Chains A and B, each alone.
Chain A
Amino acid sequence: MPSIGWWIGFLIASGMLGIGVIVVYILLTRGQGIFGLSHPYGWAFDITNFVFWIGIGHAGTLISAILFLLRQRWRTSINRSAEAMTIFAVMTALIFPLLHTGRQWVAYWLVPLPNDRLLWVNFRSPLLWDVFAVSTYFTISLLFWYTGLVPDFASMRDKAKNFLRKKIYGALSLGWTGSMRDWTHYEKAYLLFAGMSTALVLSVHTVVSYDFATSIIPGWHTTIFPPYFVAGAIFSGFAMVVTLLVFMRTAFKLEHYITIRHMELMNKIILLTGMLVGYAYLTEFFIAWYSENPFERYVFMNRLTGPFSWAFYIMFFCNVAVPQIFWFKKARTSIPIMFVVSILVNIGMWFERFNIIVSSLHRDFLPTNWDNFVPTIYDFGWTIGAFGLFLTLFLLFVRVFPTVSIAEIKHTLPKPADSSKEGVHG
């Protein structure tokens, strides 16, 4: 049952969402000029937030799909909330490019539809690849999540005492009875979804990185971007899972299901991906120096010493230095430490995207164009609003849906039938 903490959290989250709604209203009535965007930085907070939120979603898919394929049983306690996080993060992410287009009411032009003027979308553009990648990712994640929920809905339907609940969960469970004949199809489909999601988790952020990597802007035109973006996405996503689970396990007394061991394993992944990201930063600097390209070299010197160097140092400290504390078991298993680290990692990863976008754009090839980006209150407002939307949806989810996969947890409880046989379930 929701505690007072849930209500406080919900009020704060919906308040933040309210700020976002006001900003969106002003944006729709007044136009794009309310943001601090200008020449040469046509992208700033909007794309930073888009890439950030898409990245957050990745840990959910990684936990639910890749760990499922790798037969990691520890995922069962956390996969449901991680998948929910994916759905809500991708929904939040989608708002940014849609609102950033300027004329939001014609956003459907992004879809390849025949039209009167015989104009088509440009399939060679990475921005269109994004439309396909993100919408596929969202659809498949949603189907995967819902498929996982059906047996749990059936369980809740059969346990419900209240008539209305029985009807609602009955409808959501689609009439699932737990027949072994159905389970055979279900399990195959679930495995296929896991396979498809795994391919997507690697492809989506790769495609997002193409938005930058296929351009000729120094600091973006880099072949390391696809793996670097994927590692960063998993890094920030896991940090967000840790942040949310720290709250959830105490608020809903799930300490027996989401144990310190689960948290520790996630912290190990944060440590690993943090080092991958740190390696990518250093590689970028090395290549800038090694390429002897003066523009590339300048951009990286500008990141270290220019007007946005503070963003670089925040990023480097939070993403590379802070996770190193997880070398110590005491830190990996301490709830307060992991909570602080996970928050700092998320701050660092937000600044990583900001750093890539703004520090590369604000000084382009022509020095007369150079200018400094100054965010307006509306830039901050819709960033706060995005966090509000995500947290509101997540809090509603933990209130009405089974936050721990009931069917899968039963499978890992003592004396599973298949302990000696070939097992597929995580």
Chain B
Amino acid sequence: MAKHPALIGVYSDPDVLLEAADGARQKGWKHLDAYTPYPIHGLDKALGIGHSWVPWVTLAMGLGGALGGFTLEYWVHVIEWPMNVGGKPLNSWPAFFPVMFESGVLIGGISTFIAMWAACKLPTSKPVIHDERFTDDKFGLLIPLDGVSPADAEAYLKSSGAEEVKHV
């Protein structure tokens, strides 16, 4: 978003930001974003941001990890190194369950971590920090100027309660 020229309005009140974001989306403006020190619920909808795809990665990799754990156990104890212990079946799956569970959680967790940062396009050594107060106590609404006239956007931000409007 930051590659294109944009306007950013600075707010002190998250409720005002939420209404401003909702209004901007209703105007049909695209690629809106907001900067907040903590997540504000309902803001993703107000900005028109869809659901995160991270949980699908967790599900797929978690199941894959569990299956991988079981495959390793089966291969070791049934194919590669079969050992008869007390006449128990080689594929003694109840005893394989703890490792299967832990491998599922481990692979699922590590993948979630990687997927989350990939989704955020992070880490980056050169973050675009529009305003250092956005991680502290201020809230920002970003309107990219593709197809939106700067005058319109500025007028909208001011009328929606922004304390200041910055060109970024």
Could you list which residues of chain A lie within 8 angstroms of chain B, going by C-beta atoms? 112, 118-121, 123-124, 126, 128-129, 132-133, 135-136, 139-140, 143, 147, 151, 154-155, 157-159, 170-171, 174-189, 192-193, 196, 199-200, 203, 207, 210, 406-408, 410-411, 415-418, 421-425
CB-defined contacts of A159 to chain B, threshold 8 Å = 132, 136
Contact digits for B90-130, partner A, Cβ 8 Å, 1 yes 0 no: 00100110110111011011101101110110111111111
Q: Is B33 an interface residue (CB 8 A)?
A: yes
Asked, given contacts A123-B76, A124-B77, whether A200 binds B105 with beta carbons under 8 Å apart, the answer is yes
Q: Give complex CA distance A184, B92 in Å.
A: 42
A–B Cβ pairs within 8 angstroms, 26 of them:
A112-B76, A129-B102, A136-B102, A136-B103, A139-B110, A143-B109, A143-B112, A158-B135, A170-B127, A176-B120, A176-B122, A177-B130, A178-B134, A179-B33, A181-B120, A187-B52, A188-B51, A192-B112, A196-B109, A203-B98, A407-B38, A408-B38, A410-B137, A417-B41, A424-B41, A425-B41
Q: Is B153 an interface residue (CB 8 A)?
A: no
Q: Give complex CA distance A158, B122 in Å.
A: 17
Contact digits for B123-152, partner A, Cβ 8 Å, 1 yes 0 no: 111111110111111000000000000000
B98 and A421 within 8 A (CB): no
B98 and A207 within 8 A (CB): yes
A121 to chain B, nearest CB (A): 8
CB-defined contacts of A177 to chain B, threshold 8 Å = 35, 127-130, 134-135
CB-defined contacts of B99 to chain A, threshold 8 Å = 123, 128-129, 132
CB-defined contacts of B80 to chain A, threshold 8 Å = 118, 120
CB-defined contacts of A411 to chain B, threshold 8 Å = 38-39
CB-defined contacts of B73 to chain A, threshold 8 Å = 123
Asked, given contacts A175-B123, A188-B54, whether A123 binds B96 with beta carbons under 8 Å apart, the answer is yes
In the complex, the chain A residue whose C-beta lies closest to that of B97 is A129
B41 and A422 within 8 A (CB): yes
A121, A139, A140, A184: the one contacting B49 at CB < 8 Å is A184
A27 to chain B, nearest CB (A): 29
B39 and A183 within 8 A (CB): yes
User: By DSSP majority rule, is chain A's interface helix, strand, loop, or mixed?
Assistant: helix
Asked, given contacts A123-B99, A129-B99, A132-B98, whether A180 binds B49 with beta carbons under 8 Å apart, the answer is yes
A189 and B112 within 8 A (CB): yes
A120 and B103 within 8 A (CB): no
CB-defined contacts of B33 to chain A, threshold 8 Å = 179-181
Q: Give complex CA distance A178, B17 in Å.
A: 14
A421 and B42 within 8 A (CB): yes
A421 and B41 within 8 A (CB): yes
Asked, given contacts A143-B113, A147-B113, whether A407 binds B128 with beta carbons under 8 Å apart, the answer is no
B44 and A184 within 8 A (CB): yes
Q: Give complex CA distance A158, B134 in Å.
A: 9
B67 to chain A, nearest CB (A): 15
The winner among B38, B47, B115 for most chain A CB atoms within 10 A is: B38
CB-defined contacts of B41 to chain A, threshold 8 Å = 417-418, 421-425
A189 and B105 within 8 A (CB): no
In the complex, the chain A residue whose C-beta lies closest to that of B127 is A175
B44 and A151 within 8 A (CB): no
B44 and A124 within 8 A (CB): no
Q: Give complex CA distance A158, B103 in Å.
A: 38
A175 and B125 within 8 A (CB): yes
A186 and B116 within 8 A (CB): yes
CB-defined contacts of B49 to chain A, threshold 8 Å = 180-181, 184
CB-defined contacts of B38 to chain A, threshold 8 Å = 151, 407-408, 410-411, 425
CB-defined contacts of A129 to chain B, threshold 8 Å = 98-99, 102
Q: Give complex CA distance A423, B126 in Å.
A: 32
Q: Give complex CA distance A140, B132 in Å.
A: 31
Asked, given contacts A158-B135, A196-B108, A418-B41, whether A185 binds B77 with beta carbons under 8 Å apart, the answer is no
CB-defined contacts of A128 to chain B, threshold 8 Å = 99
Asked, given contacts A159-B136, A417-B40, whether A124 binds B85 with beta carbons under 8 Å apart, the answer is yes
Asked, given contacts A188-B52, A200-B105, A423-B41, whether A174 binds B123 with beta carbons under 8 Å apart, the answer is yes
- B residues 6-60 near A (Cβ < 8 Å) are 13-15, 17-18, 33-44, 47, 49, 51-52, 54-55, 58
CB-defined contacts of B47 to chain A, threshold 8 Å = 180
B117 to chain A, nearest CB (A): 7
Asked, given contacts A124-B95, A174-B117, A185-B119, whether A418 binds B40 with beta carbons under 8 Å apart, the answer is yes
CB-defined contacts of B76 to chain A, threshold 8 Å = 112, 120-121, 123
B105 and A196 within 8 A (CB): yes
